[in-house]
Amino acid sequence: MLTPTLPECVNPHLLAEESVVLEGDIPLPRFTRLTDYLCERCGAVRITLQFHKGKHRTLLIIGKARTTLTMQCQYCLDPVEVAVEADLDLVYVERDESSASLDESADGILAEGDSIDLVAIVEDDLILSLPMVARHGSGDCIGKLEYHQDEAASEGPFAELERLKKRLRDA
């Protein structure tokens, strides 16, 4: 099944008037800040956005963005695929004064013209959805890690000091 590529910019007012649901992909390389965290910059972000008018004629954008990203495992440093999903619940506001009256739990998007950039409204939520530490599943990296302990360290932290003291006494 072919998935349509979403446009870069849309007019949220026109889409909200008809309660349009946009569904499609945006190529991952367009998310320039998100790709800074990745090993590979190929793939796409699957986005579903519903535009509609809420109470008091507020423009609401509700949706979901999901993708699978290739990050660097922080244990073994090999690439690891991470599934990322972000829920979007946004209020489109016309003026800066309107954003002050938003509910604390609401995320606002300040209007900058008649259109909005879809990447801009999704990218922050995807970055916040990244894992704190990217890693393979439990135990998958352990066999890859090798730790060599030198002989002096295995004797204890003061073994070298003891040898030095002995040499000073013998001298």
Is 127 domain-assigned?
Answer: yes
Mean pLDDT of the chain: 81
> What's the total number of domains in the chain?
1
Instruction: Give the span between the Cα atoms of 107 and 61, in whole angstroms.
Output: 10
Say what the pLDDT of residue 1 is: 42
Is 160 domain-assigned?
Answer: no
The yes-or-no verdict on residue 64 having pLDDT over 70 is yes
The yes-or-no verdict on residue 142 having pLDDT over 70 is no
Domain that holds residue 109: 9-137
Is 169 domain-assigned?
Answer: no
Confidence of residue 70 (pLDDT cuts 50, 70, 90): very high
Is 53 domain-assigned?
Answer: yes
Is 148 domain-assigned?
Answer: no
pLDDT by residue (tens digit) across 77-114?
889 899 999 999 888 877 654 544 555 556 777 667 77
Confidence of residue 47 (pLDDT cuts 50, 70, 90): very high
Is 168 domain-assigned?
Answer: no
Is 153 domain-assigned?
Answer: no
